[in-house]
Amino acid sequence: MTTSGLPDKRMDTDAVIASLWSGMTLGIGGWGSRRKPMDLVRAIARSDLTDLTIVSYGGPDVGLLAAMGKLKRLITGFVTLDSIPLEPHYRVARQAGKLAVTELDEGMLQLGLRAAARRLPFLPTPAGLGSDVMRVNPELRTIRCPYTDAELVAVPALRLDAALLHVHRADVHGTAQVLGPDPYFDRWFALAADKVYLSTEAIGLDPDAPLSARLLHRMMVSGVVDAPGGAGFTECLPDYPRDEATQRRYAAGAKDPAAWQAFLEEWL
């Protein structure tokens, strides 16, 4: 407890990883190669965790964990490095059939998180009708609107055992600020999860940031890791841009085992 009487939720990375388990469903915030909690993802890659179901607007978080054999299933709207359109390690794993993939429309993925956040079994949408989303995901069901009789896709709730997010600032109690131009869907990942673990660029809220920058209330957060640079090599504006040189080295490892091993020894 702190002098305010509120719990101090600071943790180290090892404590976060110790709270996770093999076979769990884990949401990872950020978007592509932007503001990903890479320090926490790298710790999972080093750990004994396996058979994970990952829900993510995917980037190197998905690629790294796939390359390290940690994934059983992926639920995603895409997997990209942004400046490299298709995440190459994900491509290799998927082409080899090493993980099951549920690939949804980006908005459908958000609806799955919103349904979980609202404790609903599903949310309806016209998105996906007439598209290959229904063909490649035969488990998806449709319903009839009770008012118009229109056909709609029933997007199932994506309930998460835990979510990992990276933010710009957080206080020791878990209140979190995102200072960049886009919060992505991190709030919905948090609301859909039983536990929420943050890594942050700095402990302490920015007093000059607008109130809208406060993305997460402390009641939503289970633990906070002080991790300056914790999104690297992904972009974390306004604190730092994407490290394109490191990302290119990471991507090149998908085709060159020796380069991949050298990269892991230095970076992991």
Report pTM. 0.96
Residue 2: predicted pLDDT: 73
The amino acid sitting at 254 is A
Alpha-carbon distance of 150 to 147, in angstroms, equals 8
Alpha-carbon distance of 152 to 205, in angstroms, equals 43
Alpha-carbon distance of 261 to 253, in angstroms, equals 8
Domains of the chain (ranges, CATH numbers):
13-121+158-267 (3.40.1080.10), 122-156 (no CATH)
Residue 3: predicted pLDDT: 67
Residue 19: predicted pLDDT: 98
- Name residues whose C-beta falls within 8 Å of residue 100's C-beta, 6 or more positions apart in sequence: 72, 73, 74
Angstrom CA distances, 233 to 83, 87, 157, 184, stand at 13, 14, 31, 18
Residue 196: predicted pLDDT: 98
Alpha-carbon distance of 103 to 219, in angstroms, equals 31
Residue 27: predicted pLDDT: 98
Taking only the tens of pLDDT, the chain with its 268 residues reads 676 789 999 999 999 999 999 999 999 999 999 999 999 999 999 999 999 999 999 999 999 999 999 999 999 999 999 999 999 999 999 999 999 999 999 999 999 999 999 999 999 999 999 999 999 999 999 999 999 999 999 999 999 999 999 999 999 999 999 999 999 999 999 999 999 999 999 999 999 999 999 999 999 999 999 999 999 999 999 999 999 999 999 999 999 999 999 999 999 9
Alpha-carbon distance of 51 to 190, in angstroms, equals 22
Residue 158: predicted pLDDT: 98
